Structure 1
Amino acid sequence: MFGRIGEWLDRLRLPAVTLRQLSIYRLILALAWLWAALLRF
């Protein structure tokens, strides 16, 4: 039973990490796009 709980925690933990990495990646992309747009003007 404890083994199953550990597996579920690992399954729930992985998507949270990937979602957090995606949000950070999106933020970096937005900042890079804004910086490039400012350099064009």
Structure 2
Amino acid sequence: MRKDWRNWTALKTSETGLGWDPISGRIEASNEWWQKKIKVCVL
């Protein structure tokens, strides 16, 4: 869980163009942003 927390914190503080939905507790980003991230980080 610590690794997930670090990843979430890094994402929230270092990326630009992101929003936060306090109701769902999820990061909001455009489809283009997600596609770019998926290409960079393939699991």
TM-score class, shorter: 0.3 to 0.5
Which protein has the larger Cα radius of gyration, Structure 1 or Structure 2?
1
TM-score in terms of structure 1 length: 0.35
Higher strand share: 2
